[in-house]
Structures are given as C-alpha cells and as structure tokens.
A and B are shown apart, each in its own frame.
Chain A
Amino acid sequence: MSDVKRTPEGFVVAFPPLSGAPPFAPDPVIDAYKKDVDRGLIVENLKLTVDERLRQLVSVQGFAAEVRRAGRAAFGD
C-alpha cells in the first residue's frame, strides 16, 4: 500500500491540486442541481483514501443488495 499524503485538516491528497478556473462554462441547469448536493458527504469522502472510497462503494452495494433480498423475502418479486 502506498503512503497516503494528508493535509493538516485530515484531507487525503489523492490527486494533483486543481489549478485555475474549471475548463468548462457554468451551466445554470447544473447549478440548480448543485444546490441539493450533500456537501457534508463529499467533505467526509475527501478524508478517505481512494481505496477506502471504493471499499465504501462495495459495502453500500452489499447493503443495497441485502435490502432488495429482504424486500423480496417479505413481499415477493
């Protein structure tokens, strides 16, 4: 496992820093959707390593599959 670089605040430095303005123009439709984004979840994810983020995906996927199985068992297909 490679060494993990972190900021003093605990954020993982997984990629080179983003520099400058985004290379795409603002889009009012996307900006409207952005208001509903849960930034708290994003901030917490930025404290995880890439590997931890992916293992979290596997864990959530397993949970979703279990809920589906339970639903089928309780209510049928």
Chain B
Amino acid sequence: MPAAPPSETDFEGLLRALVSSEVEFIVIGGVAGKAHGSPRLTVDLDVVYARSAENVGRLTSALAPLRPYLRGAPPGLPFCFDAETVRRGLNFTLRTTLGDLDLLGDVAGGGGYGALLPHSRELEMFGLRCRCLELDKLIEVKRAAGRPKDLEAIAELEAIREERRKRGL
C-alpha cells in the first residue's frame, strides 16, 4: 500500500533517516539550491546515492519504515523497495510517509556519487552533517538536464554566483 501523500515534505526527517543510517549521499536539486541562497520553493528532496552494495543496503533499510512507493504510479503495483530493486534500477522518484524523495544513481552532466563527491561539501543542514553539491556543479548538472522548467532556476543560481563573486563570497 503506498504512503498517503503528505501535504508537506519533511526535509529534516528525510535527511535524518539517511544520516542516521550512515547512507552515503549528496544533496542536489532544489534543496541544494536553497542551501546556496535560492529563494525558490521546492517540494521534494533530491539526492545522489552511492551504488555500492553496502550503501544500497543502508539506504533501503533507512527508508523501509517510510514505505517508499513509486510516485505517480497506481496503487497495488508489486513494488518492493529493497536492495535488489535498487540494484536493478538507477533513479527512483518516490513518495514516502515523510514526503517526496528522488534517489538518483546518476545525473546527466555529473555522473554518479563518486564523480560528484569532489564537487560536494559537507554542510550543516537542520543540524545534520550532509554533503551538498557545490554551486558550479549544481549549475552544470541543471544545464545538462536541459529541461525548460529549469531555466528560471538556472538563471537564479547563476545570479547567486554573480552576487557571491561581487562580495568575495
């Protein structure tokens, strides 16, 4: 049975579930943009996760209590979010009891966790130590995605870059 859609995404709860299980992940997308200073509202958490068997095991255990289900899929599908499913797949757009979570094994223009790791930085998010994609790489992957809906967000991220440069930040 899929989780009922929550009216709000509990970003802190989702991050806490991942951090407390020592999942290796990097925050990207709108939440990363927000961390960099974007005023844009986002409704889901996007993370790139390491594809090692150990990490996939930690990931699936961390999320199991949150009843992950494929977002937008009809109820009743034989979907089981376990290590085998993650191993056979790559990118998952999920609905959980804490809100919407996109798990990405690979992103266009950026690659997987190992390729993005040197372009990430550990930050305090909701009092939790999490890795977040650096601004330039975030812009690069958004550009590479080539989605028209991202154009405003990319313009905003590039404006953040310019404002930071002006101030030596």
Contacts and interface: CB of A to CB of B under 8 A. Distances in A.
Interface stretch (B8-16, B57-65, B70-78, B90-98): B8-16
Contact of A61 (B36, B43, B167): B43
Interface residues of A, number: 45
A62 B10 CA distance: 10
B124 interface: yes
B156 A7 contact: no
A17 interface: yes
B155 interface: yes
A68 B43 CA distance: 14
A1 interface: yes
Interface of A: 1-2, 7, 9, 11, 13-18, 22-24, 27, 29-31, 33-34, 36-39, 41-43, 45-46, 48, 50-51, 53-58, 60-62, 64-65, 68-69
